[in-house]
Amino acid sequence: MPVLINARQEIFTQNWFEAKPITEAAIIAGYKPNWAASIASRLSRKVKILARYNELQEQAASKKVASKQERMEILSEILRAKPEDYMELSEDGRDLQITREALKSPAVSYIRTEQVALGKMPVRLTRVGLIDKTKAADLLNKMDGIYAPETKQVYNDIKIMVVYDNSDKRSKGNTALNGTTP
């Protein structure tokens, strides 16, 4: 739904969405303070305003929550990742360097560099750890619904309660339990 045509209603909705009390939102929108409470109450029930309010909520949520497509892309990147994808040879050809993509990639769990001695010569050793591919594949399969649904076994459990009434006087509750109607 696009922006509301009535500017005051749009301002009211925007302020209401920003968690201001509806009366305050009505005053900010330009309604008179002595009528703001009743106008705000009426506006907050209008279909167009509720639709706009819900649209604002969806827009805010969509920016924060990863879509199914985004999640599948991330899991696919994890599944296809290889350590050599995140390393390149230095200009002098003596070292392997980590690429900038490795620092941003969701597939990389850690990067460790250490100096080790190889004879008299120090060597820099870099390790790139990747996220578990089987977990990524498992999550992708679940998202695609590849696994068979779980079957639940239902047991019919019948319980019988026996009530004995030894009194001669029967109350309405007792007659109902014995199967007779009052």
Average pLDDT, integer, range 111-126? 81
Residue keyed to tokens 């350590």? 83
Greater confidence (65 vs 57) lies with 57
Report strand pairing: 87-89 vs 96-98.
Answer: antiparallel
Domains contained in the chain, CATH given: 7-64 (1.10.10.1400), 82-130 (no CATH)
CA end-to-end distance (rounded Å), the chain? 60
Residue keyed to tokens 């209008």? 46
For residue 122, the SS3 value is: strand
Whether pLDDT at 178 is above 90: no
Whether pLDDT at 42 is above 90: yes
What pLDDT, on a 0 to 100 scale, did the predictor assign at position 25? 92
**Percentage of residues of the chain with pLDDT beyond 90:** 20
Q: Report pLDDT digits (tens) over 144-171.
A: 777 766 666 666 666 666 666 666 555 5
Mean pLDDT across the chain: 80
Average pLDDT, integer, range 97-116? 82
Between 20-24, 128-132, 156-160, the lowest mean confidence (pLDDT) is in 156-160
Closest CA to 102 of 137, 76, 129, 124: 129
Q: Would you place residue 12 in the very low, low, confident or very high pLDDT band (cuts 50, 70, 90)? A: very high
Q: Is the CB of residue 83 less than 8 Å from the CB of residue 130?
A: yes
Q: Is the CB of residue 23 less than 8 Å from the CB of residue 36?
A: yes
What pLDDT, on a 0 to 100 scale, did the predictor assign at position 38? 93
Q: Is the CB of residue 37 less than 8 Å from the CB of residue 21?
A: no
DSSP structural state of residue 87: E
Between 103-112, 124-133, 169-178, the lowest mean confidence (pLDDT) is in 169-178
What pLDDT, on a 0 to 100 scale, did the predictor assign at position 139? 85
Average pLDDT, integer, range 114-131? 81
CA distance 51 to 69: 26
Question: What are the b/e assignments for 129-147, b being 16+ CB within 10 Å?
Answer: ebbeeeebeebbeeeeeee
What pLDDT, on a 0 to 100 scale, did the predictor assign at position 136? 86
What pLDDT, on a 0 to 100 scale, did the predictor assign at position 168? 59
Burial class (CB in 10 A: 0-12, 13-18, 19+), 27: buried
